[in-house]
């Protein structure tokens, strides 16, 4: 049985990883999460009572506390997902992104290196520090038919993607300079259950149900590759447990869609599942409203995931159509979860998690 330390485990992707590990493997998990606005303990409720699960509310910028966590839990693997991740928020307030994504990653790397250096040779060789990043570090594929590969040069466009690029460079430097066994993964846009409502797909679902405007940036022609979060969680576990130290793996869903197409699909699914609409709404798509584009908005991202398929045998199980049906149905069946997010009451929940 492996002991895996997951930072940011109360977030969207992090909680999916934790649920996967507890439900599908025999490994144990220690979640470390600061519980910012994006951390939601209700997303961990399905596994919170499992004896292989533990939780500690920790800021990854606090080195002394991290050292205590490493000493107590003795992890064999770190899966680092703690990050500020919303582009709009990074434009309005970049300081938090520099602090968490760069300073926090540096602090975690040093805590991990300090712990790793004390291990006997066998455990030192098998230890892994897996850093989870984004395809946004590669920049924009506008006017190109190419795909992002693991060797694509970095060209981040936003404070968010620049901070993630910086953290990627730190992880690789700690591998090259100190020998820390690291892995880096860069993923495309995730979607699925437990997604915070500020992001495109859940925002469209919940606004439509409430009869509110569906804001679409610019002309909605921006292209993203969409990856169902549970497929991503499975890929991350395979990389963490089977990936080659020092390597980078791109993870994509093979689902390129324009933003406006995504919004139209949400509307079509809601027409099917919830034909009874809010007062004054004839069709959900009538709520679509085009708004001023985001500054520095990248036009196209697309991932070449051939390496992880070839070397680790991972392929996504969900098509965009099947994943979107599951996603919309989940939000319709789990209104307690998102209503607590919308009214802010989720931030008072603690679920009696043990730390």
Active site residues: 135-136, 160
CA atoms within 13 A on the CB side of 192: 24
How would DSSP label each residue in 35-50?
--TT--GGGGTTTTT-
Burial classification of residue 321, based on how many CB atoms lie within 10 Å of its CB (0-12 exposed, 13-18 middle, 19 or more buried): exposed
The whole-angstrom separation of Cα 81 and Cα 7 is 5
119: which DSSP letter? S
By residue count, the chain amounts to: 355
Output the six-digit token pair for 320. 């965009």
216: CB partners within 8 A, 6+ apart: 259, 260, 263, 288, 289, 290, 291
Nearest to 218 by CA among 136, 153, 300, 309: 300
How would DSSP label each residue in 180-246?
--EEEEEE-EEESTT--TTSHHHHHHHHHHTT--EEEETTS--EEEEEEHHHHHHHHHHHHHHSPTT
173: CB partners within 8 A, 6+ apart: none
At residue 92, what are phi and psi to the nearest 5 degrees? -75, -35
Burial 226-249 (b: 16+ CB within 10 A, else e): bbbbbbbbbbbbbbbbebebebbb
The whole-angstrom separation of Cα 66 and Cα 85 is 22
Output the six-digit token pair for 282. 């004839």
CA atoms within 13 A on the CB side of 50: 22
Contact indicator for 289, 216 with CB cutoff of 8 Å: yes
């Amino acid at each position: 049985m492996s002991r895996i330390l997951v930072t940011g485990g109360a977030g969207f992707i992090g909680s999916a990883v934790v649920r996967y590990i507890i439900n599908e493997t025999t490994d144990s998990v220690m979640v470390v999460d600061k519980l910012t606005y994006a951390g939601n303990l209700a997303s961990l409720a399905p596994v919170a009572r499992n004896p292989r699960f533990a939780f500690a509310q920790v800021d990854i910028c606090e080195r002394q506390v991290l050292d205590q966590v490493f000493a107590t839990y003795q992890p064999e693997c770190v899966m680092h997902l703690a990050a500020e991740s919303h582009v709009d928020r990074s434009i309005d307030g970049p300081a938090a992104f520099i602090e968490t994504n760069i300073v926090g990653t540096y602090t975690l790397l040093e805590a991990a290196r300090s712990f790793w250096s004390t291990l006997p040779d066998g455990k030192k060789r098998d230890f892994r520090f897996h850093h989870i990043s984004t395809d946004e570090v590669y920049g924009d594929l506008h006017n190109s038919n190419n795909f992002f590969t693991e060797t694509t040069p970095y060209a981040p466009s936003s404070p968010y993607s620049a901070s993630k690029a910086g953290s990627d460079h730190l992880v690789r430097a700690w591998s090259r300079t100190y020998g820390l066994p690291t892995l880096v993964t860069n993923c495309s846009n995730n979607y699925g259950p437990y997604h915070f409502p500020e992001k495109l797909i859940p925002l469209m679902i919940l606004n439509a149900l409430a009869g509110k405007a569906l804001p679409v940036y610019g002309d909605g022609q921006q292209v993203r590759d969409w990856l169902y979060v549970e497929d991503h969680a499975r890929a991350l576990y395979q990389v963490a447990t089977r990936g080659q130290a020092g390597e980078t793996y791109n993870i994509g869903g093979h689902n390129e869609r324009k933003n406006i197409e995504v919004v139209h699909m949400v509307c079509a699914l809601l027409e099917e599942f919830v034909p009874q609409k809010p007062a004054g709404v004839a069709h959900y798509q009538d709520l679509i409203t085009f708004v001023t584009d985001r500054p520095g908005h990248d036009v196209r991202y697309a991932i070449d995931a051939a390496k992880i398929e070839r070397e680790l045998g991972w392929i996504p199980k969900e098509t965009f159509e099947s994943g979107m049906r599951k996603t919309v149905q989940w939000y319709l069946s789990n209104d307690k979860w998102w209503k607590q997010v919308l009214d802010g009451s989720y931030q008072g929940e603690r679920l009696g998690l043990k730390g």
